[in-house]
Chain A
């Protein structure tokens, strides 16, 4: 109903502000030249490692160590990509990463949104206490959780050869379960969503109640549609974080069939017998970066808004 005009209004406002800000006093010529040259030199230095990765991934091996380094490959080739893809079960890594990351994002988004709705809009005993406990856990460094989470996953009953008491097998270690389940909860997502949902007018929720909607219905039909921006932001951050995640898979995954992309890539380099085959590694690096790069370029404005949201509170 009133959702569309509200969004349109929100979209229109920053644009108007920007136009106003860009107008006044022009920078002097020296300042302008200095600004642009600093920015251009800075971004060239910043992009150089990336550019080198992309360039090297298209180079033949003999070209790759040529001195002085060349920025344009002699007869560029795709063979690095093919060789890397065939050198290991890379397709499997990508499937694992995609499956694990997307499952985590979906689960975390749904669970966090439900929790955030309860914390933001409902009154029930122990609400504030539970919320405070949740906030408190944000202060716990992930390093503290490495060892105990490993042991908890190892002793999940009835999985991975474990008996009812959780002994005898490897539990959720070296499995998708172990990679996914502990990450269904994320206090940061809950907190971001709660802050946003608090601004939803109570009248909308009360109106739905009068129409006979239960809490699950209100959540699905009123709260979630109105919270799309914040849900998008947290989902994108989560996608980025879990796709890149290296430490958890390193600790709990042992069989190559369950490698994720960063783990596979890092171990591919670590296990190289003599010298790193940089041609293949750079091709692999490009492939590993592509999904997050595409996601970033497509959803950039959400990320910018999300940072503004979390940074300024």
Chain B
């Protein structure tokens, strides 16, 4: 049995296509088991992505039967669309606010929980609860907490002498408020990944560091942080991708307002595609977003690999 498997690649090379066809027939049941997944993948992902590209080269208004080919017009329009530019800026703002804060708080909580304390499981559960809660629900609760007239937050900051704010209807406060809510919703996730990372660090490293006279801070700086790099990388990539696509909480809390201050790219794609029904233009925007996410992911992977190689 093992011998046959071992020399199969060699024989395949020798006999070429006929050998492949033979293998395909012999292993037909593998294709049968894969078929449902492959069909769904083909239709709803591969075809959809290609179709989207096709759409982006057309003026595809769902209410208009004429759907002419317009070349790169949609992309050209993107470059001059002030709303799109603002949406990109807002998305970047949201991401730059949400990702570092989620990581910092998650790491802080994970460090606290990684000590010998009682009730660790309970704390872990409490901090993780927002992650499993539907974003629609979280968004609604926060919308009320942040309400200018009846909100909890204004009441409590009033107690310590800060004047009440219109958190969600002041254009310069709306995005920070949405970021705060999103950090709250993310922290449990980053905490759990960091906890797993921390528990994989051997205790001996800390003992060795302290023998060498490293204090708590230097242990953290030179043992914990470097060894958490894989966790940080995973969290960072995951959170950036999901932050670029933020939608639910925007829909529920601000509807993209006030004055488009919280209109992110995906929210704008939704508006263009499903409120104005200009699906060609929405597709062009989606491809713009795709390109941005792609570049970011590549840059991160390259930076990470260079750092770990060094």
Residues of A within 8 A of B (CB): 21-22, 24, 26-27, 31-32, 35-36, 38-39, 42-43, 46-50, 52-53, 56, 65, 67-69, 111-112, 114-115, 117-118, 122-125, 127, 130, 133-134, 137, 139-152, 181-182, 184-185, 187, 190, 206, 214-216, 219, 240, 243-244, 246-247, 250-251, 261-262, 265-266, 269-270, 276, 278, 281-282, 285, 288-289, 292-293, 295-297, 300, 303-304, 307-308, 310-313
Identity of the chain B residue whose Cβ is nearest the Cβ of A263 in the assembled complex = B136
* Contact residues in B for A42 (Cβ distance below 8 Å): 109, 127
- The answer to whether B286 has its CB under 8 Å from any CB of chain A is yes
Given A31-B115, A244-B134, A246-B136, list of 18 further CB < 8 A pairs? A27-B117, A36-B117, A69-B152, A114-B37, A117-B33, A137-B45, A137-B49, A142-B245, A146-B286, A148-B51, A151-B279, A181-B44, A216-B33, A246-B251, A262-B248, A289-B133, A289-B134, A308-B192
Chain B residue with Cβ nearest A149 = B48
Closest chain B residue to A52, Cβ basis: B152
Interface size on B, residues (CB 8 A): 94
Q: How many A-B residue pairs have CB under 8 A?
A: 274
Report if B166 contacts A (CB, 8 A).
no
Contacts of A148 in B (CB 8 A): 47-49, 51-52, 55, 283
Q: Does B1 contact A (CB under 8 A)?
A: yes
**Given A35, A181, A297, which contacts B112 in the complex, CB threshold below 8 Å?**
A35
CB contact between A43 and one of B36, B117, B126, B255 (< 8 Å): that residue: B126
> Given contacts A149-B44, A288-B134, A307-B193, are A185 and B37 in contact (CB under 8 A)?
yes
Chain A residue, CB-CB nearest to B200? A312
Cross-chain contact B33 with A39 (CB below 8 angstroms): no
Cβ distance A139 to chain B, nearest Cβ, rounded Å = 7
A281–B140 alpha-carbon span in the complex (Å): 8
A26, A137, A182, A216: the one contacting B29 at CB < 8 Å is A216
CA distance A32 to B112 in the complex (A): 10
Name which residue of chain B comes closest to A22, CB basis. Answer: B116
Contact in complex: A115, B33 (CB < 8 Å): yes
Q: List 22 A-B contacts (CB under 8 A).
A: A48-B145, A50-B130, A50-B141, A68-B155, A114-B33, A115-B37, A118-B33, A130-B38, A133-B41, A137-B46, A137-B49, A139-B297, A141-B293, A143-B266, A143-B289, A146-B286, A147-B273, A185-B45, A246-B136, A293-B132, A308-B196, A311-B231
Are B117 and A206 in touch, CB under 8 angstroms? no
Which of A112, A124, A310 is within 8 Å of B30, CB to CB?
A124
- List the 7 closest A-B pairs by CB distance, nearest first: A124-B27, A308-B196, A185-B40, A148-B48, A244-B134, A311-B193, A182-B44
In the complex, what's the smallest C-beta–C-beta distance from B94 to chain A, in angstroms? 14
Residues A147 and B37 in contact in the complex (CB < 8 Å), given A141-B290, A251-B270, A266-B136: no
B280 CB, min distance to chain A CBs, angstroms: 9
Q: Which residues of A contact B192 (CB under 8 A)?
A: 303-304, 307-308, 311
How far does the alpha carbon of A38 sit from the alpha carbon of B127 in the complex, in Å?
Answer: 13
Q: A49-B145, A65-B150, A147-B283 are in contact. Are A39 and B123 (CB under 8 A)?
A: yes
User: Which residues on A sit within 8 Å (CB–CB) of B196?
Assistant: 304, 307-308, 311-312
Q: Which residues of B contact A296 (CB under 8 A)?
A: 128-129, 132
Q: How far is the CA of A145 from the CA of B133 in the complex (A)?
A: 24
